């Protein structure tokens, strides 16, 4: 019997998981990834700066500071010694805020064996250099393989076993193309997957990273407008136009359109823009409701990645001559002292554009002056 090659179903390949994984960063998502990898059967070392957090994880299998009373699997070896954490590791996850990625990788580098793949789980673009987080890590760790783990993931839900999905992306060289199941992306994907945590494999590192950086900024915008009293129509419009801003910058950086509509793009954007569990959405809600930035989060110094991203993303887009109207509005409000109401009114009153954008049409808005005046008054 002759087989039709167009109808042959590919047989799933078997990938070899990594034996030991080191997770650098004992915050909520770092602890969650450590728990998932441990449940997947990996030996697990978790590094963090706080000795009390490390002690609690070892002694009680909880991280009350970041995950409340959620039970962690036994066997997570938490430490404040980064050399101890990466000793013998077959793969490393860097799960620290974006501004700390360079320093953390530099501290790890002398203790990490050659060739060990490193996945960065921070979302953003480095200030001053304009480098994506994987590029920052490569700058310090070269020539080790560097990738990214990203997607629509709230840490607490993932640890509690709610069905969750994420993307693992690494560059694919010739050997990875010939044997994709043994690539770092595939091996790390199976090393993290559990009965409830599902991972996808990608070779589009740029697309995954740009999606993660921009979605935080769009979430702040959604929060601002929701906090100002607008509802679902407004949020849906911001999310949709936010996807387009992702696509523009991603393609300019070499990413693929399908990544923007995947887990690390639209998926992560939808989650972050839909819940006050997101610090980005929460910041926007407070600002939109009239709370001064210094008084947000009850005056506590909470790190909100989208606040920094709004500047670094637009810096990069300006260099590439890519228009990002929503990100620019958020930047103006957070960093340039612009009025929130007027900024969003002008965003809505800008010239009308075509959809799809291949039509390259732009025409005057018939109600620009009225839109600016009335929207600004409603938001004020």
Find the range with the poorest average confidence among 26-35, 65-74, 329-338, 361-370.
361-370
> What would the mean pLDDT of 125-139 be, rounded to a whole number?
95
Q: Which helix (H) or strand (E) holds 34?
A: helix 28-39
The SS3 assignment for 11 reads: coil
**In this predicted model, which residue has the larger pLDDT, 249 or 2?**
249
Q: What is the mean pLDDT of the chain?
A: 94
Tabulate helix, strand, coil % of the chain (nearest 5): 55, 10, 35
The predicted pLDDT at position 1 comes to: 42
Q: What's the CA dihedral at 206, 208, 213, 218 to 10 degrees?
A: 130
Predicted confidence (pLDDT) per residue in 149-160, tens digit: 999 999 999 999
Q: What is the mean pLDDT of residues 92-108?
A: 97
Helix (H) or strand (E) run with residue 22 in it: strand 20-24
Q: Is the pLDDT of residue 311 over 80?
A: yes
Select which of 2, 215, 300, 311 is catalytic: 215
Domains of the chain: 20-203 (3.40.50.720), 207-379 (1.10.1040.10)
Place of tokens 């409000």: 333
CA-to-CA distance for 213 and 42, rounded, in angstroms?
Answer: 29
Q: Please compute Rg for the chain using Cα positions.
A: 22
pTM for the model: 0.92
Answer yes or no: is pLDDT of 2 > 70. Answer: no
DSSP string, 134-189: HHHHHHHHTTS-EEEEESS--HHHHHTT--EEEEEE----HHHHHSGGGSHHHHHH
pLDDT at residue 11, as a whole number: 55
pLDDT tens profile 44-88: 999 999 999 999 999 999 999 999 999 999 999 999 999 999 999
- Average pLDDT for 344-353: 92
Question: What one-character DSSP code corresponds to residue 72?
Answer: P
Backbone angles phi, psi at 362, to 5 degrees: -145, 125
CA–CA separation, 169 vs 290, rounded Å? Answer: 39
Structure tokens at 32: 């969650």
CA distance 218 to 281: 9
pLDDT at 343: 95
pLDDT higher than 60, residue 377: yes
CB-side neighbour CA atoms (13 Å) of 311: 12
Cross-strand pairs, 199:
166
pLDDT band at 254 (very low <50, low <70, confident <90, very high): very high
Average pLDDT (210-225) is 97
Structural tokens at position 322: 């890519």
Question: Residue range 334-349: average pLDDT?
Answer: 95
Q: Tell me the H-state helices in 182-302.
A: 184-192, 205-227, 232-252, 257-260, 268-272, 279-288
Of all helices (H) and strands (E), which one includes residue 255? none
The answer to whether 215 is a known catalytic residue is yes
pLDDT score recorded for residue 7: 58
Other CB atoms within a 10 A radius of the CB of residue 276 amount to 15
**In this structure, what token pair is assigned to residue 297?**
């989060």
Alpha-carbon 162 to chain mean position: 19
């Amino acid at each position: 019997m002759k087989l039709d090659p167009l109808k042959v179903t590919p047989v799933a390949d078997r990938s070899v998981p990594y034996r030991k994984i080191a997770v650098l960063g004992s915050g909520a998502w770092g602890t969650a990834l450590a728990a998932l990898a441990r449940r997947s059967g990996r030996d697990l070392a978790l590094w963090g700066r706080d000795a009390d957090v490390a002690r609690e994880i070892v002694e009680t299998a909880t991280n009350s500071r970041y995950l409340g009373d959620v039970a962690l699997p036994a066997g997570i070896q938490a430490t404040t010694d980064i050399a101890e954490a990466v000793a013998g590791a077959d793969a490393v996850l860097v799960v620290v805020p974006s501004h700390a990625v360079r320093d953390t990788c530099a501290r790890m580098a002398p203790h990490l064996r050659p060739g060990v793949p490193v996945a960065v789980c921070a979302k953003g673009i480095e200030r001053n250099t304009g480098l994506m987080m994987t590029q920052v890590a490569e700058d310090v760790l070269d020539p080790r393989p560097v990738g990214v783990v990203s997607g629509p993931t709230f840490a607490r839900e993932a640890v509690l076993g709610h069905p969750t999905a994420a993307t693992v992306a690494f560059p694919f060289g010739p050997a990875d193309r010939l044997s994709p199941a043994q690539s770092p992306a595939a091996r790390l994907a199976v090393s993290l997957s559990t009965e409830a945590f599902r991972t996808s494999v990608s070779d589009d590192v740029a697309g995954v990273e740009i999606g993660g950086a921009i979605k935080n900024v769009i979430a702040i915008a959604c929060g601002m407008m929701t906090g100002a009293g607008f509802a679902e129509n407004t949020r849906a419009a911001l999310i949709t136009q936010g996807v387009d801003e992702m696509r523009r910058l991603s393609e300019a950086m070499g990413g693929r359109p399908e990544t923007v509509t995947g887990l690390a793009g639209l998926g992560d954007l939808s989650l972050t823009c839909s819940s006050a569990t997101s610090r980005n959405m929460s910041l926007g809600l407070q600002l939109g409701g009239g709370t001064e930035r210094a008084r947000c989060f009850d005056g506590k110094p909470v790190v909100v990645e989208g606040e920094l991203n709004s500047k670094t993303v637009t810096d990069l887009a300006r260099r590439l001559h890519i228009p990002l109207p929503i990100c620019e509005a958020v930047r103006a409000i957070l960093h340039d002292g612009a009025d929130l109401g007027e900024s969003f009114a002008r965003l809505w009153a800008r010239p009308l554009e075509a959809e799809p954008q291949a039509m390259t049409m732009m025409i005057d808005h018939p109600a620009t002056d009225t839109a600016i005046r009335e929207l600004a008054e409603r938001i004020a």
